[in-house]
Chains A and B, each alone.
Chain A
Amino acid sequence: MKRILMTLALFGLVSTTALAHRLDEYLQATILSIEPGSVHAVMRLVPGVAVAAGVIASIDSNHDGVLSPDEQHRYAERVLADLQLKEDGRSLLLHLASVTFPTVDHMKMGTGEIELAFSADLPAVRGEHQLVFENHHQRGISVYLVNSLVPQDKNLQLEAQSRNQNQSFYQVTLAEAGSVTAQSFTWSGLAGAFHLGVRHIAEGTDHLLFLLTLLLPAPLLALAGRWKGRTTVRNSLTQIVRIVTAFTLGHSLTLALSGFGLVRLPSQPVEVLIAVSILVSAIHAIRPLFPGREAIIAASFGLIHGLSFASALNELGVTGWYRLISVLGFNLGIEVMQLAVVTVTLPALLLLSRTRFYSAFRITGASFACVASCAWIVERVLDEPNPISQGIESLAHHGVMLAIVLWVSSAVAWMIQGQDHLVSPGSAAAYER
């Protein structure tokens, strides 16, 4: 068609107007992003002004001049059906990830760009593999471009690339240096994500502080807007398990949703909200705001913390099957570390709650959380650190020391309490005033 137009142009039969736009061709440019375990692709389709009407008509199945989401989706699936992605001759299943359409007017002018994103799982096995991508969509009018990004994973090398004349056929050789078998590869991925999860909690002072602050009043009973008396050890434990489980459910849900790209929120407001969640639970530890409903609060704020976990997970930059493994491993790492911290602090907390010093301890701890959360809110809104937030950060490096201090002081408090019992037995229930 290009050649015919050029010939016509020589005879002055084609006007030179609207030369700026793609005319008689349907440009389809694909960029493949190949990583161990998956292939992601972004395809941009721009119908030229002379072929746009035909392309629009083929999408607009009910001919109402509007491209409904349903029609867009069906068209995207049709494009996918015209593509082929093969590893060593085996066809890979393509999953549509997103579809973005321009306005019909822009398409008519030849300046509308349809963007399709899709992915496929790539069984990762040691050695060399041939990946083939073929595009036969609208072959009569199309101009094809296809390229691969340099892999993020340094173990994966793209070697020889070859294409046919019009780039409808593309082949690239993948070589996984130092890669292992599919099974142990998955295990190593799981282990890597697990460690990232553990580290994220160990270094994530804010997540820990939120949880610990929420646990502070767990051994107590709320009466008439104040923390009064204490509940049984059994009730305290049940309450703590409920809070931790609720927090886990909340953050697992959003971690999974955003881990798979189903939810995407800017990180700054999320980080600010996390600091706010600490402030709320700190105030609650001083005066009951939501007695008996701690689990619901933990679950709701867990949703926010999960969004932040997901952004840490993004550092791995993995996709597809490997992504699933990573989300799983990362979440397990978070849970294990969280449980470890609760297990270490819980006995000391329960012991301390049986003494008259608990009230002072609770108020001090909650006030500290108040100050810390306010410092974090300021830091995250202004996007620059302040002396208080920096101080807390360096204090957090001494987590083990803090745990020892907590244990020793609770033991000391218990011993003093024991002597008190000798003096005035039976007064324990009135300690929390």
Chain B
Amino acid sequence: MGESAWVRQTAANPALPAGGPGGSGFGMGPPGGFVGEQYGKAVWSNYPVSDVLRPGLQLGSLSVAQRDAAMHLLQSMLSPMGYQKVLDIMGSDQALSETGQPFCSGTACYTVGIFGEPSDNKPWMVEFGGHHLGLNIVIAGNNGVMTPTLTGAQPSVYQRDGKSVRVLAQENDKAFALLDELDGTQRKQAILNYEVDDLVLGPGHAGEQIQPEGLKASAMNDRQKALLLDVIAEWAGIVQSAYAGPRMEEVKAGLNDTYFAWSGPMTHRPGQNGSSYYRIQGPRIVIEFSPQGVGGDSTMHVHTIYRDPTNDYGVKFNGAE
């Protein structure tokens, strides 16, 4: 079965949510204490699929051919780096589920949902995710927007085919590289004197802009700015280059007003992620990298969020506010 046939089938499937991006409201969770974010009929969270059900089809319910088509759809929207990142995160969730969890974390629970009709000019959205992944990709003509997106890992390091995989390693290592490059005065600006134990703008905070803190990039030299962009590219570059290029331009345009803030140790053990929180915030971007210290080793469990406070769910393209 070809990709387009698969898309048509799911789009027509009554089990799939109707409506499209820009359906109703702007990305806030509905009342009732739901720990996730809803936009129209799309739902994502950093909780397991059994706790917060994502609308769409679970990979575990698909035939091999259908599952391949789903992954192929994803592959065509993402860059090779982004696709590999998705596979690494899925592998981590699968590894967690194999330790025997009472909740749904593994690959079989990963869910693909299509919102709106796939179209050449009208906006439509693909949501793909599971326990530690919430990709929301809105396609509007030649534009592709991947905000908001949640990535995460637990365990952050696992074995695949006899090799060790460290998930979100670049997000961790590149940020430490930037921190290392800062001088004493800059570090004083960048490092927050308090603990940040969770995402501030996680699920349910679409469109919010908090008062920024940390070191402003206008006080960085060119090399440091390049390193900052390098960190951002780990999120902005998940989508294929036709979408990632314009996105990086938006980020660069606001770079001087972009802040880098850090909380936690300034070093990490080689081969492991650190336990430090960091945040990048600019006019068009929010990134948070938040190691989760929930009763375990925070270097083995991380949540990250990636947003554009002015264009979550591509509201700029579909006219919804």
Contact = CB atoms under 8 A, between A and B. Distances in A.
Interface of A: 2, 5-6, 9, 14, 16-25, 27, 29, 31, 44, 46, 48, 50, 100-103, 106-107, 109, 111-115, 143, 145, 147-150, 158, 161-167, 172
A95 B48 CA distance: 35
Interface string B175-202: 0000000000000000011111110100
B254 to A, nearest CB: 14
B14 interface: no
A126 to B, nearest CB: 21
A2 B200 CA distance: 20
B208 A31 contact: yes
A233 B211 CA distance: 62
Contact of A145 (B34, B51, B200): B200
13 contacts: A2-B293, A5-B296, A16-B296, A19-B154, A19-B296, A44-B204, A100-B33, A102-B32, A111-B35, A148-B210, A149-B208, A163-B194, A165-B194
Nearest to B309: A150
What 6 A-B pairs come out closest when comparing CB atoms? Answer: A102-B33, A23-B295, A147-B210, A163-B194, A113-B33, A143-B197
B210 A31 contact: yes
A106 B32 CA distance: 10
B142 interface: no
B200 A17 contact: no
Contacts of B220: none
A366 B65 CA distance: 64
A145 B211 contact: no
Contacts of A150: 209-211
Interface in B266-320: 293-297, 301
B102 interface: yes
Interface string B16-54: 000000000000010111110000000000011001100
A261 B209 CA distance: 23
Interface string B152-166: 001000000000000
A101 B33 CA distance: 5
Given A16-B296, A23-B294, A143 B32 contact: no
B200 A29 contact: yes
Given A19-B301, A113-B33, A143-B197, A9 B101 contact: no
A343 to B, nearest CB: 38
A24 B31 CA distance: 25
Interface string B202-221: 00110011110100000000
A198 B121 CA distance: 41
B200 A147 contact: yes
B63 interface: no
A111 B211 contact: no
Given A46-B35, A149-B211, A165-B193, A21 B294 contact: yes
Contacts of A31: 205, 208, 210
B33 A115 contact: yes
A137 to B, nearest CB: 16
Contacts of B296: 5-6, 9, 14, 16, 19, 23
Nearest to B93: A20
Nearest to A159: B211
B196 to A, nearest CB: 7
A166 B195 contact: yes
A61 B40 CA distance: 37
A149 B296 CA distance: 31
B211 A19 contact: no
A9 B52 CA distance: 28
Given A100-B31, A102-B34, A5 B295 contact: yes
Contacts of A115: 31, 33
B248 interface: no
A25 B197 contact: yes
Given A27-B198, A145-B198, A147-B200, A20 B211 contact: no
A149 B201 CA distance: 11
A111 B99 contact: no
Given A17-B100, A50-B295, A163-B193, A158 B200 contact: no
Given A19-B294, A103-B32, 16 more contacts: A9-B296, A19-B154, A19-B301, A20-B105, A20-B131, A25-B197, A27-B197, A29-B198, A100-B33, A102-B34, A103-B33, A147-B211, A149-B209, A149-B211, A161-B213, A165-B194
B73 interface: no
Nearest to B48: A20
Nearest to A48: B294
A112 B100 CA distance: 23
Given A20-B47, A21-B47, A23-B294, A145 B196 contact: yes
B294 A22 contact: yes
A114 B34 CA distance: 9
Given A2-B295, A24-B295, A100-B31, A158 B211 contact: yes
Interface string B98-131: 0111110100000000000000000000000001
Nearest to B205: A31
Given A18-B102, A112-B33, A113-B35, A165 B293 contact: no
Contacts of B192: 163
B169 interface: no
Contact of A18 (B101, B196, B197): B101
Contacts of B295: 2, 5, 9, 14, 19, 23-24, 48, 50
A147 B263 CA distance: 15
Contacts of A163: 192-194
B211 A172 contact: yes
